Structure 1
Amino acid sequence: MTECNFTIQDTSSIVSPGLVVFRDVMNANLAEMLREAGDVTRLRPHCKTHKMGAVTKIQLELGITKHKCATFAEAEMLAEAGVKDILLGYNLVGPNIQRAVDFVKQYNDILFIATADHPAPVRELSAAMESSGQSIQILIDLDSGQHRTGIAPGEDARQLYRLLDELPGIIPGGIHLYDGQNHQTDLEERRQAVLTCWNLATALRDDLEAEELSVPRIVAGGTGSFPVYASLSDRALELSPGTNTFFDNNYGKMFPDLQYTPAARILTRVISRPTNDTLTVDLGYKACASDPDVSKRVVFPDLPDAEPILQNEEHLVLRTAQASSFTPGDELLAVPGHICPTSALHKSAYVVENEEVTDNWEVSSRDRWLTI
């Protein structure tokens, strides 16, 4: 793992709590992603981690032309950044059906793909696309065991894919295989679990192709399963790493085999020292994801004994034996436990290169709605 420098010579422009991206660390993460993939054309990284047009443009410069997202705002951000192949890895219902029509109309030079796991919204989407003279590729969303979304492998899945082939305005685009249940810390245990999921997808693919149905892609994986899928060779496989661009502390602990470093951190300042062994910093849960337990929301590399004991909207109380050495106004860098929702809590990120703040990147798709 590359030795990283997290020094910021002048922090006076950083309003805390402020999201800070260390450009060199992010670049190293992207280089590791490319190394693991083996071939840049196999990559379809998820933009949910950064939600930034600036980061997307850097990935495009590296030759990463296929991208994945979870919201129409993210899809629009990718399109405006210049991406021409976008997968919205989300099942379309309600107003999102018309939004899909509007998207393919507005960005008619972009390959736009979405997912589905039930015939009812697929039929509704087909009618909307046909009436507007548009079409969209749809991946069947396969449930590999997480039971969050997706259709179980079997005859129902085959029937749904046949329906994609039959309906006007719908083009069958392949299989979406997300295996977010695979959190095994041991790499070999994770490998076996991931391969079990992969075999479900390839068996379905083989059945469909035996019926002369086109299955051009299998979009597979997330952060932890990425290295396993990357070790496979299959003409249809597209690799979909999640958090890797920025990375975070909780995945780093869960998957120690991954050679990534958290590139996005939060600069926070001490605002009070209420007791002899506690500090209060201005890092409330308006500035970092609150889905992990409070003990796992952030860590402080320069204050390793800090124990988060209370967090509110604007405050985080830390217990530390070093409390007496701090004065209000002192600064710390926090590493988020979960970076993806953390980035959505910030309007923009300060960019640091060579120990200097050099830029400010807008988190342009942090909202649910931009223009479509």
Structure 2
Amino acid sequence: MDHSWYRVQNIDTVDSPALLVFPDRIRENIRLLKTMSQGVDWLRPHVKTHKIAEVSQMLIAEGVYKFKCATIAEAEMLAMAGAKDVLLAYQPVGPKINRLLELVSTYPTTTFSCLIDSIPAAEAIAKIFSAAGKTISVFIDLNVGINRTGISPDHAALELYLSAAQMSGITPVGLHAYDGHLRDADFTLRKQKADEAFKPVLDLAAQLADKGYAYPILVAGGSPTFPIHAQRNGIECSPGTFIFWDWGYHTQLPEQPFLFAALLVTRVISIIDANTLCLDLGHKSVAAENPLPRVTFLNVTGAQPLSQSEEHMVVSVQDSRSHKVGDVWYGVPVHICPTCALYDSVYVANDHTIVDKWAVIARNRAIHI
């Protein structure tokens, strides 16, 4: 692996821990994504990975116009960036319904939609939008095995779609199926499982068409099953991690040759003994939901994280004498999405130089709305 691409000449201007992003590699990942799909009409990338307006604008500049997001803040960020079509891949409840209504009213040039998976939730959304004289499109959230949200793609989902079609304030337009639990490294096995999980979705869509409804828009998958759904006709695909890529998917999904486009910068802050040192890379700096190592270092061979606390990471090395306090290490996180959300801003590196900073504007739960 060529490691020369990430070294930054003015790294002394970057306080650590920090997150660096590389626009040239981001653009390459976007273009690669397009070659793996059947066209931008069938791309609906998820922005939960980056949460950055400038990155969203890079996608838009490459012709992408439909997006998926998980929070009201991410939806507003997309509207501010000029996105035409935004699916809130979440069932809004409580105050979120009113916030969604305000979002729709504030950004009329963006078309918004959201998920539903129950009649009470659909009725709550319909009531608020109808009272305001508005109508929002909704997708039925289908549980295809992840067992997190959604309704089974069977008769219950059919009844929900038919019921929603009778409600003033909402209009059912499609089906949403996220199969993020399918992560087998064996692509053949992953495809087999994805096909099995998706068959009931196609059956449900056919039933709706048989009843005289317009064939529903189908939004499916995340990063692991993107190459599978991308080969189906008429499916909007929703990968997200491709934009920055990470070590987890680099090892789990070898068929997807995306580039690392976001790296952690950390420094040695203490030499403990002959084979152990400490970095300023704690829980607050890299996603901690996975077991150690949580990060792979590109410029230090054989480094193995041993333990981590809020502001510290203790690492085993072959020989501490080859390191010194203040040394800069570059690392790829195992999981980039929650890592990015830990930073208020990212440093932008171009041609081995830090040239800018971008706000991770949608890491907060609210921007204006």
Give the TM-score range, shorter chain: over 0.9
> 3-state DSSP class of the match of 2:5?
coil
Structure 1: gaps (5+ residues): none
Structure 1 residue aligned with 2:53: 53
Q: Which residue of 2 aligns with 1:86?
A: 86
Cα displacement (A) at 1:253: 0.8
- The residue aligned with 1:364 is 361
In 2: Cα distance, 1:38 partner to 1:216 partner: 18
Alpha-carbon distance between aligned partners in 1 of 2:95 and 2:173, rounded to the nearest angstrom: 22
Does the 8 A contact of 1:174 with 1:214 survive in 2? no
* CA deviation after TM superposition for structure 1 residue 294, in Å: 2.0
How far did residue 4 of structure 1 move? 6.9
- What residue number does 1:247 align with? 245
TM-score normalised per structure 2: 0.97
Q: Deviations over 1:262-311 (max 9, x none)?
A: 2111111100011110110111111111111122x111022231111111
Offset at 1:2?
Answer: 9.2
C-alpha distance after superposition, 1:205-237 (max 9, x if no partner): 000111112244101110010001111223xx1
Answer whether contact 1:21 1:352 (CA < 8 A) is retained: yes
Contact 1:51–1:363, Cα closer than 8 Å, also in 2: yes
- What residue number does 2:176 align with? 176
Partner Cα distance (1:313, 1:270) in 2: 16
Counterparts in 2 of 1:215-364, with a 5 A limit? 215-234=215-234, 237-295=235-293, 297-364=294-361
Counterpart-to-counterpart distance in 2, 1:256 and 1:3: 19
Q: Return the alpha-carbon distance in structure 1 between the equivalents of residues 217 and 4 of structure 2.
A: 37
Q: Distance in 1 between matches of 2:318 and 2:127?
A: 64
In structure 1, give the amino acid aligned to 2:148.
R
| Matched residue, 1:165 | 165
List structure 1 runs of 4+ shifted beyond 2 angstroms. Answer: 1-4
Distance in 2 of aligned mates of 1:155 and 1:361: 47
Residue by residue, what CA displacement relative to the aligned partner does 1:175-200 show, whole Å, maximum 9, x if unpaired? Answer: 00100110110111111111112212
Amino acid at match of 1:301: L
What is the alpha-carbon distance in structure 2 between the residues aligned to residue 322 and residue 225 of structure 1? 41
Separation in structure 2 between the aligned mates of residue 2 and residue 323 of structure 1, nearest angstrom: 25
When normalised by structure 1's length, the TM-score is 0.97
- CA distance in 1: counterparts of 2:2 and 2:8, whole angstroms: 18
How far is 1:3 from its partner? 8.4
* Backbone CA RMSD of aligned residues: 1.3
Mapping of residues 12-27 of structure 1, within 5 Å:
12-27=12-27
- Residue identity opposite 1:55 in structure 2: V
The alpha-carbon distance between structure 1 residues 104 and 315, as it changes in their structure 2 partners (threshold 3 A), is same
- Segment of structure 1 superposing worse, 270-279 or 193-202: 193-202
Q: For residue 70 of structure 1, what is the amino acid of its counterpart?
A: A
How many residues matched? 369
Kindly indicate whether the alpha-carbon contact (under 8 Å) linking 1:276 and 1:324 is maintained by their aligned counterparts in 2: yes
Given that 2:205 and 2:216 are in contact with CA atoms closer than 8 Å, whether structure 1 keeps it comes out as no
Judging changes above 3 Å, is the alpha-carbon distance between structure 1 residues 211 and 2 closer, same or farther for their aligned structure 2 residues? farther
Contact 2:182–2:190 (CA under 8 A) maintained in structure 1: yes
Give the stretch that moved more between structures: 128-137 or 301-310: 301-310
Q: In structure 2, the residue corresponding to 1:90 is in which secondary structure?
A: coil
Matches within 5 A, 1:84-233: 84-233=84-233
8 Å CA contact retained: 1:4, 1:25: no
Question: Are the aligned partners of 1:172 and 1:215 in contact in 2 as well (CA < 8 Å)?
Answer: no
Q: Give the percent of matched residue pairs that are identical in Structure 1 and Structure 2.
A: 37
Cα pair distance change 1:3/1:63, threshold 3 Å: farther
Alpha-carbon distance between aligned partners in 2 of 1:210 and 1:138, rounded to the nearest angstrom: 20
8 Å Cα contact 1:172/1:214 also seen in 2 = no
Q: Distance in 2 between matches of 1:22 and 1:281?
A: 23
Determine the C-alpha separation between the residues in 2 that align with 1:255 and 1:170: 38
Q: Distance in 2 between matches of 1:272 and 1:131?
A: 61
Contact 2:82 2:110 in 1 (8 A): no
Rounded Cα–Cα distance in structure 1 between residues aligned with 2:4 and 2:89: 33
Report SS of the residue matched to 2:152.
coil
Instruction: For 2:72 and 2:299, locate their aligned partners in 1 and report how far apart those are by CA, in whole Å.
Output: 38
Return 5+ residue gaps in structure 2 as ranges.
none
Matched letter for residue 120 of structure 1: P
- Go from structure 1 to structure 2 and tell me whether the alpha carbon gap of 1:12 and 1:2 turns closer, same or farther (over 3 Å shift): closer
